Amino acid sequence: MSILSPDRTFFDNSRVNYLCFSLLLLCCITSIKARAAKLTITDNLIVREIDDKSVEQGFLSKNQVFKLVQGQHALVVKYKDVFEDLEFAEDRLVKSDYFVVKFTVENQQELLLMTSEINDLATAERFVKSPELRLVDEHQQDVVLELEKLSDYALAKQVTKVVNTLSTPTVMSQINSKTTTNTENEQAFTSQVINSVDTVPMLKYWWQKANKGEKDEFIDFINKNKELK
> CA of 104: how far to CAs of 72, 139, 146, 154, in Å?
4, 16, 10, 19
Give tens-digit pLDDT for 22-43.
556 555 444 444 578 999 999 9
List the chain domain ranges: 1-34, 37-149, 167-222
Q: Report the predicted TM-score, pTM, of the whole model to 2 decimal places.
A: 0.64
Distance CA 82, CA 126 (A): 14
Single out the residue of 88, 7, 78, 18 nearest to residue 43, CA to CA: 78
User: 77-89 burial, b for 16+ CB within 10 Å, e for fewer?
Assistant: bbbebebeeeeee
Question: What whole-number distance in Å separates Cα of residue 198 and Cα of residue 201?
Answer: 6
Question: What's residue 70's pLDDT?
Answer: 94
For 135-148, b/e burial (b = at least 16 CB within 10 A) is bebeeeeebeeeee
Rounded percentage of the chain residues whose pLDDT exceeds 90: 44
Measured distance CA(186)–CA(25) in Å, rounded: 51
pLDDT in tens, the chain (229 residues): 444 455 555 445 555 555 555 556 555 444 444 578 999 999 999 999 999 999 876 554 556 899 999 999 999 999 999 998 877 778 999 999 999 999 999 999 999 999 999 999 999 999 999 999 999 999 999 999 999 999 889 888 877 777 676 665 655 555 555 555 566 666 666 666 666 566 677 777 778 888 999 889 889 888 887 766 5
